[in-house]
Amino acid sequence: MTDADRTRRVLLIRHGQTAWSLSNQHTGRTDIDLTPRGEQDAAALAGLADRIGLCRPYVIASPRRRAQRTAELAGLHVDETSELFAEWDYGDYEGLTRLEIQRDHEPGWTIWTHGARGGESVADMTRRVDAAVDHVEARLPESDVIVVSHGHFSRSFICRFLGWPITQGAAVDLRPAGSALLAEPDGDRRLSELRGPEGYWASAASI
């Protein structure tokens, strides 16, 4: 099979568990370490690219320590680190849970509908993720791509790669140390598979 004939694929990996992901606190700029469970789950990702047969994967990671450590434990050599692939900037809501934000600041708030006060709006995030998608697309003729990043970023990336509004990310479930495989067979983009930290792969059509 020539490069022109191969199915182009993007593997998104969310960093492993942190204390704040465990407590559902929004973690954007805060540079926080993985928990022991997070390190264990990240290490379990080792060899995943080979198991699913990625072609010469080029690895891009968020600059945050939790993403860099996840890549390291997964045995991935990071080719590029970029703020384009950082988590949503939660602004005034950094470190707060959704319930706290709804109770104390904005009833009915979600990141997908309201954005973050003092941080990135939905439009801001859409523009940044679109730039990240363009950046990845530029690599795909040469190789598959692995992105090690964050929950809301990865869910947003899935939406924009597939041409969906970013708000559809609310319907995508990506757990810490989980991953999502995007594929482009014959130019037809799809969310091919989702994986949880337990190592279970499921067809996206069944979720």
Could you give the CA distance from residue 7 to residue 98 in angstroms, rounded to a whole number?
38
- Considering the candidates 15, 26, 150, 152, report the single residue annotated as catalytic: 15
Name the amino acid, one letter, at 59.
V
Could you give the CA distance from residue 125 to residue 123 in angstroms, rounded to a whole number?
5
- Considering the candidates 39, 87, 120, 193, report the single residue annotated as catalytic: 87
The answer to whether 23 touches 97, Cβ cutoff 8 Å, is yes
Mark whether 87 is an active-site residue: yes
Mark whether 152 is an active-site residue: no
Catalytic residues: 15, 87
